[in-house]
Structures are given as C-alpha cells and as structure tokens.
Amino acid sequence: MAQSSGKTTLTGWLFTGPALMLLTFFMVYPILSSLWMSLQVGKGMNFSFGGFANMWRLTQDAVFQKALLNTLTLLVVQVPIMIALAMLLAVALNDPSLKGRALFRTAIFLPCVTSLVAYSVLFKSMFAYDGVVNRFLEALHILDQPIPWLSDTFWAKVLIILAITWRWTGYNMIFFLAALQNIEPSIYEAARIDGIPRWAQFQKITLPALIPVVLFTTVTSTIGTLQLFDEVNNITLGGPANATMTLSLYIYQLSFKFMPSFGYAATVSYVIVVLVMILSFFQFVAARDRRRP
C-alpha cells in the first residue's frame, strides 16, 4: 500500500513538475529579481546596492508624483463611470422585449477586441484640433472654436478617459449580462404581480445579485487603470506637460527612453503592486460588509 502511494506521488510530481519549473522560471524568479533590482542604483548596466535610496528618490521626484496623481485621478473618475455604464447597458440589453439585442451587444463589445495601437491612433486623429470630432461639433453649432484635446491639460485627461471607457465598457458589460441571465425570471414576474415598480426591482433584486460582478469588474478595472500605458503612449505621449503621464508610462521611459535606470524603474513598478494590494483589499472589505445583513 505504501509502495502504491509512493508511485502515485511520483507520478503526480512528474506531471506537475514541468509546469512548476516553468512557473518558477517565468514568474517567481522575475518577481524576486525585480524586487532585488529595486534596491539597486546606477545607470545602464552599472548597478550597485543602494538600499532604500530609490524609495527616498520617490519622495523627491516631481514627475513620479505627477504620474501617481494622474493615475489615481483616472482611476477615481473613469472606473466608476465605466462600471455604472456597463451595468446600465447590460440591464437594458437583457430586456427580452428589446429587438436587435444581439446586434447591440456585438456592437458594444467589439471595441475591446480591436487593436490597442490601432484604436489609439484613430482616437488621436479623430480628436486632433482639426479632426472630425471638432468639425462635427462645430457643424452642429455646439462649439464656437475647436477644443484642444491634445494640447490642453484638462481636455487631454478627458480624451484618455473617453478612450479607455469606449474600449473597456463592453468588456465589463459581458460579465453583467452573464450575471443577469442567471437570475430566475420568475422573481421579476412575482414582483410585477405584486405591483413593485421597475426601479425598486432593480434596487432590491437586480443590484444585490450583481454585487459579486461589481466587485470583480471593479478590481480588474482598477488593476488595468493602474497599469494604463498604451493609450497615453500612443495618444498623448504623457503630455501636455506630463498631464497624462501614468506610472506605467513613466516606468517605460525610465527603462528605455531616458538613460536606463532599471533599479528606480523597478521601485516605481512596486508602487503599482502596493496600490493594487491596498485598493483590492478595501474593495473586498467593502463588498463583504455590503453582503452582511
């Protein structure tokens, strides 16, 4: 019996061993290596142990502080708008009486399967000073003069918010649709018979059932926004005057655009890790408290 158990254990390790080796080589080792790298100082490939020098540098770096503020601003403004919009669209497109639901669902979901670079370049062209958006708004007499989407600090942030909302709302909507279709229709039928209005049905039936999806989409959207890179790199390059500089774009510039400072770039990357951990923790705590009676 013991011999059979030993063979089973050996067989299990033979099957899982290669996967564990790959995970160690491609995930565990890079994580530990980057953590060690965050303690190094120097330019290019000339490293030396600097202890917490990079962490102190964060407190003196105006560009990092600007990037952190921009990233948190985009997070606080864009994520709630996108989650609320995704939920409302899912509720609307889950109505059996709506004709052409499949077409609308496909149209709203399509942006999230487009190329990040392609749609970023398209947005940059559309929202140029003489682009189609400004011309359209002027033709409708909504604007007296074009909006400087790419050269004004406020409107550049608005453009980035519009871009990522357009691309990712449909992605989050699919999760809400899946959750809505798992709610028993007889519950809504009983509510209608009892004369409960639609807004009360949404508040008392739909919304509680969607709380797990709200948590999931909020956490994933938070992580995605904290790692925002493609849109700002391709649309605004972090400008104007670092108004749209994000942490991920700053890490890229520290590593490949300026004189490489890999140790400091690794330190900035761990700021994102800490932010993800903190914000995810609070979101899970808030969701747990919401579920309590």
Decide: 266 and 39 in contact? Cβ < 8 Å: no
| More reliable by pLDDT, 66 or 8 | 66
Q: What is the mean pLDDT of the chain?
A: 87
Domain range summary for the chain, segments of one domain joined by +: 55-291
What architecture is domain 55-291? Answer: Orthogonal Bundle (1.10)
Q: Out of 19-33, 37-51, 64-78, 97-111, pick the least confident.
A: 37-51
Residue-wise DSSP of the chain: -HHHHHHHHHHHHHHHHHHHHHHIIIIIHHHHHHHHHTTEE-STT--EE-TTHHHHHHHH-HHHHHHHHHHHHHHHHHHHHHHHHHHHHHHHHT-TT-TTHHHHHHHHHGGGGS-HHHHHHHHHHHTSTTSHHHHHHHHTTS-SS---TTTSHHHHHHHHHHHHHHHHHHHHHHHHHHHHTTS-HHHHHHHHHTT--HHHHIIIIIHHHHHHHHHHHHHHHHHHHHT--HHIIIIITT-STTTT--HHHHHHIIIIISS--HHHHHHHHHHHHHHHHHHHHHHHHHHHHHH--
Token pair 């639609």: residue = 198
Residue 163: per-residue pLDDT: 94
The answer on pLDDT for 289 being more than 70 is no
Averaged over 46-65, what is the pLDDT?
Answer: 86
Q: How confident is the model at residue 251 (pLDDT cuts 50, 70, 90)?
A: very high
Residue 1: per-residue pLDDT: 47
- Indicate the pTM of the whole model: 0.86
